[in-house]
Amino acid sequence: MKKKTALPFLTRYYSTSELARAVGVHANTVRRYVDWGLLPPVERGPNGYRRFTRHHLDCLRLDRLVMGGNYYPGRSIHRSGSLIIQSAVRDDWGGTLELAYQHLALVRAEKAQANAAVELLEHWAQGGGADVTSRPLRIGETAKLLGVSHDILRNWERNGLLDVPRQENNAYRLYGPREIGRLRVIRMLAKAGYSLMAILRMLLQLDHGETRNLRQALDTPHPDEDVYMASDRWLSTLNFEEDRARRIIEFVESVIQNRVSSG
């Protein structure tokens, strides 16, 4: 009886157009991703055409999941997403899963900071004190107290975030408890990721006596605002990023499971 020989494993190759169609992008997008290092290096067949593998397809799907959206999600979230992609390109899917969980933790931390800033805002808006000073401070003293530069304080004033009273005899700015309390709220909101436009939008509402729905004001650009950034509606952005982070984890887990099943 003739002994059967095992058939050699045949690698499934994809052309550039096949890979693009599988994910719903243009073929030029696939080529750019290769050039930018968002996909692994690609071998060419005897005919000179690129030969993409399942690894490329998995990476491309992950790329679209991590980078989808027409906005910049902030430096730390963007950098974390890039690390996830780089790990997948190296074909280290266990490391990719670990980074994906770290990414979720990062987004949740950003979200907690954003909510804490709003809670301080709401406390202050309802009459809760945010600062006590024994005497009015000049701009240098105020900058030192808050840990910001003179230029930042002037920029916030120029952008309409606050109106600073001045001494009558020399026009020096004087920051009292009201101004410093307002500055503390502005600083915490800015550090939490809110744009100056979002903060101004909220403060204008507050200065008109509308102390409710300040969270919504921070998160809802007016129709006449020309430029929209993620930080103009930061809470909604972070909610979306948290959902995206969970979907990244689910996708990476599915890739690992498929590798185990087919291995």
Q: What domains does the chain contain, in order, with CATH numbers?
A: 8-68 (1.10.1660.10)
Asked if residue 192 lies in contact with residue 117, where contact means CB atoms within 8 angstroms, the answer is yes
What is the average per-residue pLDDT within 135-143? 91
Question: Which burial class, exposed, middle or buried, applies to 93 when counting CB atoms under 10 A from its CB (0-12, 13-18, 19+)?
Answer: buried
pLDDT of residue 227: 61
Say if residues 85 and 58 touch (Cβ distance below 8 Å). no
Q: What is the pLDDT of residue 6?
A: 42
| Tally of CB atoms within 10 A around 261 | 7
pLDDT for residue 234 is more than 70: yes
Nearest C-alpha neighbor of 86 from the set 71, 73, 74, 98: 98
Q: State the CB neighbour count (10 A cutoff) for residue 151.
A: 9
Question: Please, which pLDDT band fits residue 3 given cuts at 50, 70 and 90?
Answer: low
pLDDT at 171: 76
pLDDT band of residue 198 (cuts 50, 70, 90) is very high
Of residues 261 and 146, which shows the higher confidence score?
A: 146
**β-sheet bridge partners, residue 14:** 52
Integer Cα distance of 23 and 18 in angstroms: 9
Distance CA(138)–CA(253), nearest Å, equals: 56
Helix (H, G, I), strand (E, B) or coil at 186: helix
Q: What is the pLDDT of residues 50-61, one digit of tens each?
A: 999 999 999 999
51 DSSP β-pair partners: 43
Per-residue pLDDT at 65:
96
Give 13's Cβ-side CA count (13 Å radius): 11
Rounded to whole angstroms, how far apart are CA atoms 81 and 77?
6
pTM: 0.86
- pLDDT, residue 173, reads 86
- Per-residue pLDDT reduced to its tens digit, 41-91: 999 988 988 999 999 999 999 999 999 877 788 899 999 999 999 999 999
Q: Which residue has the higher pLDDT, 7 or 20?
A: 20
Residue with tokens 């909610």: 239
